[in-house]
Amino acid sequence: MIGNEPEVDTALLRGFRYGCRPGCGLCCFAQPRADPEERRELLRIVPTAEFVGSGGVSYLRAHADGGACGLLEDLRCSAHGVRPHPCQEFPIHVHVGTRLQASLVLSCPGVDLDSLLDSAPYAGRPPAVGLDSELASVERRVGPTLGRRLQDASRRRGRIVRALEREGRWVEEEDVRRTLRSKIPTPAAVDYPVDDPPSAEDGLELLPIYFDGRPGPVALAGGMGGWEAVELRTSGGIERHLGAVPPPSSPPPLSPPAEKLLTGYLRYFLERDLLLASVLPRMSELPEGTVTDWVEDELRSIGAIVVSRAVVRAKVAGAREGPLTASAVADGIRATDQDLMDVGTWGDRL
């Protein structure tokens, strides 16, 4: 904290390289929030821009039925110079908990995942490459008013910690990490099959999406015959059905490089404050055990979701039988990470 201004911990950005992929548009299948000033500026440049929201909170309207933000044209932003802050900052995500912690949304195909293979501590790695303007936008929003939100998150965490201490189940976050870093838990038979994604009938906007090189993202939907992959239209609705396959009901074999990438991803997730901050508020649903046991279970279950989505993506794309490759696991991470970060925590997001 400098004076009254909190600082953003950017250790989890270190070592990564980023460059937006032309023709992707994945992050624009969203309704980004616009501050009042951003809304005024957007309307000055694009008078037809439409917003939704109430109580002073505005979001750019997206096309109905899983479509993209109304300002996306030919997979390019038609208001790039005045796009609101979530768009300026993506793929950086800042969790407002007991501190401000930045990490990367690894669903973005512009983020190089090689850094996940390095087992060195993040804090000692070289600075991130390609994220200067995104970080500058984050820094512009850090101010004294965030102090209140940090205090609120600390209060919510404090209530949970005290309840767990009374039951003898609390373990400090850094001790949980120290224990699990030395042996990152990977998914086991008990973690399969994983829960299905929502079905297409529940609403296309609820489905996990990923970029696979085609114009328009692909969404994964749960269904009777397995998980279905569907290509979405910018204007909303389904462009085409790409196939459905059942998710694995037991752990599939992984090649050694695939194991290494999965472990690296789970190591990254363990370092996110968002992990403990999302698991512990659910403590009334959790089984007997300590915080370390729950986080271990959660990491194994995250790993099983990544692997299951990797298997489905690979099969829909026509992969032959054989151990899952590192490239397939990377596809599983892309199809999962954003989804797993859209969760409630004892904190907030910037």
For ligand SF4, the binding residues (CB under 6 A) are 20-21, 24-28, 30, 32, 60, 69, 71-72, 77, 79, 83, 87, 90-91, 108-110, 211
Residue 233 Cβ, how far from ligand SF4 at the closest point, in Å?
15
Collapsing DSSP to helix, strand or coil, 272 comes out as coil
Cβ closest to ligand SF4, residue 35 vs residue 152: 35
Q: How far apart are CA 237 and CA 346, in angstroms?
A: 34
* Nearest CA among 213, 211, 231 for reference residue 221: 231
Cβ closest to ligand SF4, residue 26 vs residue 302: 26
Residue 40 Cβ, how far from ligand SF4 at the closest point, in Å?
15
Cβ closest to ligand SF4, residue 79 vs residue 279: 79
Residue 297 Cβ, how far from ligand SF4 at the closest point, in Å?
30
Taking CA atoms, 9 is separated from 128, 176, 273, 307, in Å, by: 13, 19, 11, 29
Q: How far apart are CA 120 and CA 73, in angstroms?
A: 41
* Nearest CA among 103, 95, 334 for reference residue 219: 334
In sequence order, the 6+-apart residues with CB closer than 8 A to the CB of 262 are 186, 254, 303, 306, 307, 329
Measured in degrees and rounded to the nearest 5, phi and psi for residue 331 equal -65, -35
Cβ closest to ligand SF4, residue 74 vs residue 174: 74
Taking CA atoms, 135 is separated from 14, 120, 132, 154, in Å, by: 12, 23, 5, 24
Q: Which amino acid is it at 72? A: L
Contacts by 161-170, CB closer than 8 A, 24 or more apart: 163/283, 164/280, 164/283, 164/291, 169/289, 169/290, 169/291, 170/290, 170/291
Q: How far apart are CA 179 and CA 209, in angstroms?
A: 33
Residue 59 Cβ, how far from ligand SF4 at the closest point, in Å?
10
Cβ closest to ligand SF4, residue 73 vs residue 165: 73
Q: To 10 degrees, the CA torsion angle through 195, 196, 202, 203? A: 110
Cβ closest to ligand SF4, residue 207 vs residue 295: 207
- Cβ-based burial of 72 (10 A; exposed 0-12, middle 13-18, buried ≥19): buried
Q: Which residues pair with 243 in a beta bridge?
A: 229
Answer for the pair 28, 72: CB distance below 8 angstroms, yes or no.
Answer: yes
Cβ closest to ligand SF4, residue 239 vs residue 293: 239
Residue 201 Cβ, how far from ligand SF4 at the closest point, in Å?
26
Residue 216 Cβ, how far from ligand SF4 at the closest point, in Å?
12
Cβ closest to ligand SF4, residue 87 vs residue 335: 87
Residue 25 Cβ, how far from ligand SF4 at the closest point, in Å?
5
Residue 83 Cβ, how far from ligand SF4 at the closest point, in Å?
4
Cβ closest to ligand SF4, residue 45 vs residue 343: 45
Residue 62 Cβ, how far from ligand SF4 at the closest point, in Å?
8
